[in-house]
Amino acid sequence: MKRDTEYLLFDLDGTLVDTIRLILRAFRETFRALGLPPRDDREMLMEVGKPLYRQALDIDPGRADEIFRVYQEMYDKYYKELVKEYPGVREALAGLKERGYRLAVVTSKRFSNASLDLERFGLIPYLDVLVTAEDTENHKPDPEPVFKALEKLGGSAEKAVFIGDSPYDIRSAHAAGVRGGAAAWGPFPREVLEAERPDYWIPDPPSLLRIFQ
């Protein structure tokens, strides 16, 4: 029997690579360096999934360029210390690739940072397509990044699933007519993800091999 899914799209931060402590540290240090009022970690985590410049505008429109620049400096400074691999991700991608799925990453990060993450944890060999912030005018939760990934894959929406840890990922999937999978190991509370009515609830990376046979 022919399966109903051929294309699996993945978010990056909080889904394939654990950058959450790094992101929070970079923001804390940015606020400190620029003399900005500190923000609660939960408040900052709710911004994960948006392009960095969009986050900078949300923090302070008048200082967005400064925030963007200093954040990048802090991100690079603490990268090696704080970025981590989610256990089971590499094995899951390898297994899915072996089963014949076409795999893509759809992220709001810049190409340079996304490539660094994927290379560091040996994930590049399993991916067919990478869509980053530079590839689209609009970003998640807009469907354009998902459409771009499908275009590059030569795939159809009805045969695709987009898996991510944030509500923006699931909204982007559904707006593109693609099924959405909630990655439960990311930083967002379950109730936030369930409010988006994901088509799949994925408790941990190894579960990907159980769900997508």
Residue type, 153: L
| DSSP state letters, 117-186 | HHHHTT-GGG-SEEE-GGG-SS-TTSSHHHHHHHHHHT--GGGEEEEESSHHHHHHHHHTT-EEEEETTS
As to burial, measured by CB atoms within 10 angstroms (0-12 exposed, 13-18 middle, 19+ buried), residue 43 is exposed
Buried residues in 153-191 as b, exposed as e (16+ CB within 10 A): bebebebbbbbbbbbbbbbbbbbbebbbbbbbbbbbeee
Cα dihedral: 148, 152, 154, 157 (round 10)? -30
Q: Which residues are catalytic?
A: 11
Whether cis (ω within 30° of 0) applies to the bond prior to 203 is no
